């Protein structure tokens, strides 16, 4: 004998009998998986859909509740055992649910308020209320205009259906527009991310070019520094050795002068006199330029480049410019504020052309500084500067040739000084 279940117990039991795939009460037959979870056979068959090559050889799928892998034999889903206990519980659950369900309410019968036995079968157009036939003959609506209720019912039902269809169509258009706005927002976000990435890559490239130019220009200064330092240190070593040799000769001469033995002095004095005379006459001091230690010729002027960098902005769209140019000009009522001019982003190719020349154009000597920056002032931007320098021999190449010539003179002077020193010794 089964005990009656209350509504809360039925609801709890019903939650335990829900299929995890269709989210409804299990339908027969119910199969039990190796992991002891249950599925409708229909849902399990939909979950496991073998390909043409797997039919008849078994297969596998994962339990939707615990993700345990279920291995099937050649019968597929039909090889799984039925859970008769769960099927019996489902039968009991359905019986109890039907018995505990309240009986359906009888349909409401609308009757006239003045004549309870009469049904509402006419509609008063004047008062816009429903009434019965007696109200039209003997009651309050005998002088009103009335129509049969079915006619009004059909008319208003058709009107409501038409307006509902129009509302549904309008709602569909609004929903379509909402979907377009959502897609537009996603596209805006994606396109903004792409443009930000491109902009970052452009700035990274500019930074890399500036860093490379900085290294090249620094290397120029370092090369001349090392060259001058080596030459100065060689002179320092040469004259230091000369001073040491003369110091020893002076000490030997002083010792000979202080020797009381005249015969000993006379024997050594002639040789010392010759050595002292040669040491005095063969001294030649190296002549250095007055500004030999200065590095002022490595001057730079990046004012034009800084202006170009500060004017970096996005490129103008040509179509918009043409459209605005076709419009008729109108006299302004008041002086408008000047709009900022968008300058195109500089092309990195001129930088590559400048870099390929093998030297830096911003290292002029004081005599050629005006020749270097004169074309830059007239060209207004970096691209025009590159074009101006390509027309002939660039200033940086001239400066490089002058530096090479100076280095060659210094090397010749060093060789000549060493030859004189060897001749004196």
pLDDT digits (tens, 9 = 90+) for 31-78: 888 888 888 888 888 777 654 334 444 577 888 888 888 888 777 788
Tell me: pLDDT of 119 over 70: yes
Is the pLDDT at 231 greater than 60, yes or no? yes
Could you tell me the CA-to-CA distances from 413 to 292, 406, 410, 419 in Å, in that order? 14, 11, 5, 10
DSSP symbols for 48-113: ----TTTTTS-EEEE-TTT--EEEE-TTGGGGSPB-HHHHHHHHHHHHHHHHHSPPPPPPPPPB-S
Q: What is the rounded distance in angstroms from the CA atom of residue 418 to the CA atom of residue 363?
A: 32
List pLDDT tens digits, range 186-230.
999 999 999 999 999 999 999 999 999 999 999 999 999 999 999
Quick check: 297 pLDDT over 80? yes
DSSP 121: -
Return d(Cα 310, Cα 343) in angstroms, integer: 10
pLDDT tens digits, 250-272: 888 888 888 788 877 888 888 88
- Is residue 387 scored above 90 in pLDDT? no
pLDDT at 174: 94
Residue 207 lies in a domain: no
Interval 366-375 mean pLDDT: 40
Average pLDDT, the chain: 75
Question: What is the rounded distance in angstroms from the CA atom of residue 283 to the CA atom of residue 245?
Answer: 12
Of the two residues 108 and 42, the one the predictor is more confident about is: 42
Contact 396, 360 (CB under 8 A): yes
**Nearest partner of 360 among 396, 405, 400, judged by Cα:** 396
- Closest to 395 in 3D by CA, of 358, 422, 369: 369
**Partners of 312 in beta bridges:** 343
The residue with greater pLDDT, 321 or 110, is 110
Write down the pLDDT at residue 200: 95
Beta pairing partners, 119: 111
Residue 23 lies in a domain: yes
Give the rounded distance of the alpha carbon of 382 from its chain centre: 28
Could you give the percent of the chain with pLDDT greater than 70?
73
Of all residues in the chain, what percent carry a pLDDT higher than 90? 16
For residue 61 the two structure tokens come to 């799928």
Cβ neighbours for 100, distance < 8 A, ≥ 6 positions apart: 4, 5, 7, 10
Res. 80: pLDDT tops 90 = no
The number of CA neighbours under 13 Å toward the Cβ of 85 is 4
Q: Which sign, positive or negative, has the C-alpha torsion 89, 94, 95, 96?
A: positive
**78 located within any domain:** yes
Report whether pLDDT(155) > 70: yes
pLDDT over threshold 90, residue 93: no
Give strand pairing partners of 39: 31
Q: Indicate whether 386 pLDDT > 80.
A: no
**Residue 198 confidence (pLDDT):** 94
Q: Give me the phi and psi of 28, to 5 degrees please.
A: -75, 150
Local structure of 115: helix, strand or coil: coil
Task: Grade residue 102 by pLDDT with cuts at 50, 70 and 90.
Answer: low
Whole-Å CA distances, 416 to 299, 408, 412: 32, 12, 6
CATH number of residue 71's parent domain: 3.30.40.10
Residue 86 inside a domain? The answer is yes
In a domain, 287, yes or no: no
**Rounded-to-integer distance, Cα 280 and Cα 274, Å:** 10
For residue 87, give its domain range: 7-100
Report if residue 233 sits inside a domain.
no
pLDDT tens figures, 305-360: 899 889 888 888 766 544 544 444 444 444 444 444 344 444 444 444 434 443 34
Residue 49 resides in a domain: yes
Average of pLDDT values for 223-246?
90
Q: What local confidence, expressed as pLDDT, does residue 86 receive?
A: 84
Total tally of structural domains belonging to the chain: 1
Closest CA to 58 of 39, 32, 77, 35: 77
pLDDT number for residue 180: 94
* Structural domain contains residue 397: no
**Residue 70 pairs with which residues in a beta bridge?**
61
């Amino acid at each position: 004998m089964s005990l009656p279940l209350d509504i809360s117990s039925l609801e709890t039991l019903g939650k335990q009998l829900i299929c995890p795939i269709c989210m409804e009460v299990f339908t027969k037959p119910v199969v039990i998986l190796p992991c002891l979870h249950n599925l409708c056979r229909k849902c399990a068959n939909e979950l496991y859909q073998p390909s043409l090559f797997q039919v008849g050889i078994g297969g596998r799928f994962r339990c939707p509740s615990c993700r345990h892998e279920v291995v099937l034999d050649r019968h597929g889903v039909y090889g799984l055992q039925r859970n008769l206990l769960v099927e019996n519980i489902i039968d009991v659950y359905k019986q109890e649910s039907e018995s505990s369900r309240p009986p359906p309410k009888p349909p409401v019968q609308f009757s006239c308020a003045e004549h309870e036995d009469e049904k509402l079968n006419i509609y008063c157009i004047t008062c816009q209320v429903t009434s019965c036939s007696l109200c039209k003959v003997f009651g309050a609506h005998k002088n009103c205009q009335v129509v049969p209720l079915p006619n009004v019912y059909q008319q208003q039902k058709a009107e409501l259906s038409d307006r509902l269809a129009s509302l549904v169509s309008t709602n569909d258009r609004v929903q379509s527009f909402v979907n377009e706005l959502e897609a537009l927002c996603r596209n805006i976000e994606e396109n903004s991310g792409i443009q930000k990435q491109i902009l970052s890559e452009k700035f990274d490239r500019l930074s890399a070019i500036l860093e490379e130019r900085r290294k090249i220009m620094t290397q120029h200064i370092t090369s001349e520094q090392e060259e001058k330092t080596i030459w100065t240190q060689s002179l320092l070593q040469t004259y230091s050795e000369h001073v040491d040799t003369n110091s020893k000769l002076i000490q030997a001469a002083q010792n000979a002068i202080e020797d009381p033995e005249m015969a000993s002095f006379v024997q050594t004095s002639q040789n010392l006199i010759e050595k002292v005379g040669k040491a005095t006459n063969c001294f030649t001091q190296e002549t250095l330029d007055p500004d030999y230690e200065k590095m002022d010729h490595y001057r730079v002027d990046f004012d034009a480049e800084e202006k170009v960098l500060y004017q970096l902005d996005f490129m103008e769209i040509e179509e918009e410019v043409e459209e605005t140019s076709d419009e008729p000009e109108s006299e302004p009522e008041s002086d408008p504020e000047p709009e900022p001019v968008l300058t195109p982003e500089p092309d990195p190719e001129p930088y590559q052309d400048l870099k390929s020349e093998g030297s830096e154009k911003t290292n002029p000597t004081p005599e050629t500084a005006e020749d270097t920056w004169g074309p830059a002032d007239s060209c207004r931007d970096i691209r025009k500067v590159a074009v101006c320098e390509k027309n002939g021999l660039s200033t940086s190449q001239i400066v490089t040739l002058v530096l090479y010539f100076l280095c060659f003179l210094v090397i010749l002077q060093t060789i000549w000084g060493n030859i004189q020193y060897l001749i004196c010794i």
